[in-house]
Structure 1
Amino acid sequence: MSDQRADKLGELWDVYTRQRQLTGRTHRRGEPLAQGEYHMVANALVFNQDGELLVQQRSFKKMALPGGWVLATGGSVLQGETSLEGIQREVVEELGAQATHFERIRTSWEKDWFDDLYVTRINQPLDSLKIQTSEVEQVTWLSIPAAQRISSDPDYLDDDILIKAQRIALNMI
């Protein structure tokens, strides 16, 4: 039986310094990190061949932004994974999507995590995606302006980064 919880409390994460150096310690999700400790998150902007952005409505079971519309797919990187391995796993888990190329375009720092943002492109119709219903309610393709209008977290991505990401995605093979 698969685990249908939206937020997997108890997942193990590697602990990093502010300089992105592994400390050799692990952290259990749901417990507080010490000051100066960070965990890694990886997200991807997923585009199609027409330059539309895949937006997803988060599960109503999620702890953060339940039911909100978000522009990126992803989540926490698990113990032993690289950022790239984490985002590749997340895209398959959450969307059932076949993406072969990812390009990291930004790293941002938050209170106790850093977030690597990637761009990828998939050439699959929506009805071929197998969304993970414990994480995602629904998905759709939207233009960048339409995606920004419905975003539940408009400060996460500005138009400049979205347009840059779209250009990168359209040039991916």
Structure 2
Amino acid sequence: MELWDLFDRSGNIVSTNHERGETIPEGTYHKIVNIIVQHVDGDYLIMKRSDDKESRAGEYELTAGGSTIKGEDFREGAWRELYEETGIKADILHELTPVIIREEKRFLQQNFFCLTNVDKNAIQLQAGETQGFQWLSEDEVLAISNTDSLVRLSNEVIERIKQIKFKHYDLT
């Protein structure tokens, strides 16, 4: 059983011990995180969702991520989700966007960026969550970003990806 904290629109905890899968009460939200991973060579990691997923089964997405669990903030959830779904341990996660409120799905979403020098063949897949991965160039990602080949990203996130210039970070 996975437990979540529930929050108001401002991110204040209003309830704890909410069981995943239960209806989220009106006026409350759970937190989700998405992490876009770029290799130092410029390629982006895309992950293939498991065929067992309830939504978008078997589709590729440009993010690792998921729900934060009870007691986690956005960044802690992002570190955990990134490691669980890819095996990547990030020292630094950069916020890509301010918190986005998704009324229709009842969640608060925070997007992160991870620049890594991990061995590109060492990605570890999480059973039941992911079943494959690819590394694509920025041009390849942008070419499929508005097609059914890739789970759609908001234009705000795509524009932010185009602006990322993190080459000055020392990854050694």
TM-score between the two structures when normalised by the length of structure 2: 0.86
Contact residue 16 and residue 70 of structure 2 kept, 8 A:
no
Q: Secondary structure at the match of 1:27?
A: strand
Contact residue 96 and residue 157 of structure 2 kept, 8 A:
no
Aligned partner of 1:108 in structure 2 is 100
Aligned partner of 2:34 in structure 1 is 43
Aligned partner of 1:163 in structure 2 is 162
Aligned partner of 2:5 in structure 1 is 14
Identity across the alignment (%): 25
Per-residue Cα deviation, 1:34-61 (whole angstroms, up to 9, x for no partner)? 1110000011110100221111111111
Equivalent runs, 1:19-168 vs 2, <5 Å: 19-106=10-97, 107-111=99-103, 112-148=106-142, 149=144, 150-155=149-154, 158-164=157-163, 166-168=164-166
Shift of 1:124: 1.5
Per-residue Cα deviation, 1:78-102 (whole angstroms, up to 9, x for no partner)? 0001111111011111111121100
Q: Read off the aligned partner of 2:79 and give its amino acid letter.
A: Q
Alignment RMSD, CA only?
Answer: 1.7
Shift of 1:129: 1.8
Shift of 1:146: 1.4
4+ residue segments displaced more than 2 Å: 154-159, 170-173
Structure 2: how far apart are the matches of 1:79 and 1:62?
22
Question: 5+ unaligned residues in a row in structure 2: which ranges?
Answer: none
Structure 2: how far apart are the matches of 1:118 and 1:39?
17
Aligned partner of 1:6 in structure 2 is none
Contact residue 48 and residue 59 of structure 2 kept, 8 A:
yes
Contact residue 126 and residue 139 of structure 1 kept, 8 A:
no
Q: Secondary structure at the match of 2:165?
A: helix
Contact residue 30 and residue 108 of structure 2 kept, 8 A:
yes
Structure 2: how far apart are the matches of 1:145 and 1:163?
10
Per-residue Cα deviation, 1:7-53 (whole angstroms, up to 9, x for no partner)? xxx31000100111111433111111111100000111101002211
Structure 2: how far apart are the matches of 1:91 and 1:32?
26
